[in-house]
Amino acid sequence: MANVPHSNIELRISCRHLIDADILSKSDPAVFVYTAAPGRNTQWRLVGTTETIQNNLNPTFTKPIKMTYYFEEEQRLRFAVYDIDKPNSQNPEDHDFLGSYETTLAAIVSASGQSIQKPLQNQSHPKAGYIKIAAEEQTDLKHVVKMCFHGSKLDKKDLFGKSDPLYVISRSQEDGTYLPVFRSPHQLKTLNPTFDPVVIPIAQLCNGDRDRQLLWEIYDWNKSGTDELIGGFSASVNEMISWQGREIPLINRAKAAKKKNYTNSGLLRILQFYLEEVPSFLDYLAGGTSLALACAIDFTGSNGAPNLPSSLHYRNPTRPNHYQEAIQAVGTILEPYDADCQFPVYGFGAKLSDGSISHCFALNGNVENPHVHGVDGVLAAYESAISQITLWGPTNFSPIINQVAAQIRAEEAEMGCSGLNYTVLLMITDGVITDMDATVRAIVDASQLPLSIVIVGVGNADFTSMRVLDGDDEPLVANGRKCERDIVQFVPFASFAGSPHLLAKEVLAEIPDQLVGFMRKKGIKPRLRRAHSWTSINSQDSLASRSASVLNRGGATPLGGSANFSSESALSSPTGAGGGWPGRHATTLGLRNHGPGQQSSSPLVSQGALAGRSQTVISPTAASATDGGGGGGSVPFAAPGYYSPSAPPPVSSPAYAGAPNLPEYWGNGIPDSRRDYKGY
């Protein structure tokens, strides 16, 4: 699995109409921010406080609360506002409580404008005022560095042939040592290599510190793994930007110490080196992209009779079964990201009430509208369905995948591929699928759509074949076509039994990268962030009443009810579906009439129509070279034995004639041969 993507977030807080707790003056408010792990009985932990603003009932705090945002985790937050009586105390008991509000970080970043405005709660004061919380991603770590180099006149290292050059980039650490962060592929048998262009996240390259010193070293690749240094230099990202187009001499300290007339060991021309801002997952959320959850539940006979305690579908009144636990864990994370919380829910592998076998039927019994409202609606539909169908078989995945894909294609045919909707299909199953070839074809076909598929395997079956669908090792191939991108994530439930938050974390960890990868592949940029300002408050009750009306809205489909499970509730063909979806899904009427030739998505919406954010490119002339140390001042200006001038002099400059007088080449614990970096 890829590294879990995350973002650094700043929360900006303001309040209005706070309680006046002081007699002779106004309150001196500050906000204490707490977080807690998922679960009801976990303790709140203080993560930060704002500054205190004197005598102000409508404060706008300037000190942000910094947090790391993880899409796959439920990050609970509590904002407690206090009238500060003891300025240096972080003990809440030393201050007067004004009000609090609890939410999740997901609710904030997925809100319009990534900002929420809510009433504060205080049991002693029904009208405690309001709090506004705005999230903003720290953008510097969103840049990538695009670079391309050409080497010339490199030293020959091989006795019977030319060198096989590669380059290694290492960044300085706080203790003065250097950590390799990138290694290029080697070029075979050339002393004048042109290296392939590369794109490296600035977080990987220098952790966002553009003045941090980096080592740029050219090596001769050896099959044995003991690469031999040709030469190198030291420079920060800002310096490399300012040097674009120039040739930098490569210095080998050991060789320079032996030869009086040593000049250099070759040259490295910087053909291309600039920064570019890459849209992040949060950029798309801020621009209005909504995540839609679709669920599919396995009702095959291998689950066991639902009335038996040994069944995976057994409904224990004291605790959820594995299906319920998986739905709750994953659905709770995704729910805040769906604007209308309308989730289509399907079943497969069951015998319906009329005796027909279906591998794709609406769990609420309504073929025209398979949606329910929220996670509670999914659970209610599941509990209702399990008592009305007969577990059967076999375990076929392709009809469900084709159905969801057809629904997405219908939306795109109606609205275009705007990037505003992205679907996550959660499939929960207890066994090995029986239509592997058809499922692979369905996944390959769907890989071009805004869709991710997460599969949770419950029970003790052999799920080896499921890992093939994951595609982490080898991309799936069907009819000679490869998956355009990896869209499947498989997780065995048994590995996380009893830890629903860990299950959700593992299942959803790849979703942000998959969404951003789809958008970039389609050339879809985030729309501009939606503006958000304080709601006009005419009375203390207006916002609270509006909030209540939103929370109490009903879904298009009842949570319970007596669904009629017959062949009419089944979706008769992989490409056929029921009619209109409520809310933003109302574009799929008549989907049954779509033939195979009518399902291609419409052309992309023009980028002008998207009003998207243009890429920020920092040109070489826009960046200034630095002549100071990197890493916050604790890292030496230059790597030991490497020059790092504010601007490299011409190659003919006598500055390099003094190379033998440079400090000891490595020093500071940096190994001579780089053998410490085996396997890097």
Of the pLDDT bands very low, low, confident and very high (cuts 50, 70, 90), residue 531 is low
Distance of CA 193 to the CA centre of its chain: 36
Instruction: State the DSSP string of 401-423.
Output: HHHHHHHHHHHHHHH-B-SSEEE
Question: What is the rounded distance in angstroms from the CA atom of residue 593 to the CA atom of residue 608?
Answer: 33
Position 97 scores a pLDDT of: 95
Residues with Cβ within 8 Å of 619's Cβ and at least 6 positions away in sequence, in order, are: 274
In the chain, the percentage of residues whose pLDDT exceeds 90 is: 44
Question: What is the rounded distance in angstroms from the CA atom of residue 486 to the CA atom of residue 76?
Answer: 30
Decide if 377 contacts 559 (C-beta within 8 A): yes
Question: What is the rounded distance in angstroms from the CA atom of residue 398 to the CA atom of residue 444?
Answer: 11
Q: Is the predicted pLDDT of residue 585 greater than 60, yes or no?
A: no
Question: What is the rounded distance in angstroms from the CA atom of residue 191 to the CA atom of residue 154?
Answer: 5
Q: Where are the domains of the chain?
A: 7-137, 141-278+622-677, 288-524+569-574
> Average pLDDT over the chain, rounded to whole?
78
Of the pLDDT bands very low, low, confident and very high (cuts 50, 70, 90), residue 571 is low
Q: pLDDT tens-digit profile of 63-76?
A: 889 888 988 888 99
Q: Is the predicted pLDDT of residue 547 greater than 70, yes or no?
A: no
Question: What is the rounded distance in angstroms from the CA atom of residue 250 to the CA atom of residue 656?
Answer: 10
Q: Is the predicted pLDDT of residue 610 greater than 80, yes or no?
A: no
Question: What is the rounded distance in angstroms from the CA atom of residue 248 to the CA atom of residue 151?
Answer: 9
Q: pLDDT tens-digit profile of 91-141?
A: 888 899 999 999 999 999 998 888 899 999 999 999 999 999 998 886 566
Task: Answer yes or no: same fold for 7-137 and 288-524+569-574.
Answer: no
Of the pLDDT bands very low, low, confident and very high (cuts 50, 70, 90), residue 169 is very high
Q: pLDDT tens-digit profile of 430-470?
A: 988 899 999 999 999 999 999 999 999 998 887 877 878 88
Q: Give the residue carrying structure tokens 């200006």.
A: 637
Among 250-259, 278-287, 344-353, 457-466, whose mean pLDDT is lowest?
457-466
Position 494 scores a pLDDT of: 81
Decide if 73 contacts 501 (C-beta within 8 A): yes
Among 217-221, 292-296, 663-667, whose mean pLDDT is lowest?
663-667
Of the pLDDT bands very low, low, confident and very high (cuts 50, 70, 90), residue 48 is confident
Q: pLDDT tens-digit profile of 215-236?
A: 999 999 987 767 899 999 999 9
The whole-model pTM stands at 0.60
In the chain, the percentage of residues whose pLDDT exceeds 70 is: 75
Looking only at the bridges linking them, the beta strands covering 115-119 and 130-137 are antiparallel
CATH no. for 288-524+569-574: 3.40.50.410
Residues with Cβ within 8 Å of 226's Cβ and at least 6 positions away in sequence, in order, are: 673, 675
Question: What is the rounded distance in angstroms from the CA atom of residue 349 to the CA atom of residue 300?
Answer: 5
Of the pLDDT bands very low, low, confident and very high (cuts 50, 70, 90), residue 605 is very low
Q: How far apart are the first and last CA of the chain?
A: 18
Tokens at 97, concatenated: 């409580």
- The third-level CATH classification (topology) of the domain covering 141-278+622-677 is Immunoglobulin-like (2.60.40)
Position 453 scores a pLDDT of: 96
Question: What is the rounded distance in angstroms from the CA atom of residue 664 to the CA atom of residue 660?
Answer: 9
Residue 241's identity, in one-letter code, is I
Task: Write the CA distances from 103 to 7, 76, 111, 132, 649, integer angstroms.
Answer: 19, 6, 12, 12, 57
Closest CA to 17 of 165, 119, 136, 94: 119
577/183: higher pLDDT: 183
Which superfamily does CATH assign the domain made up of 7-137 to? C2 domain (2.60.40.150)
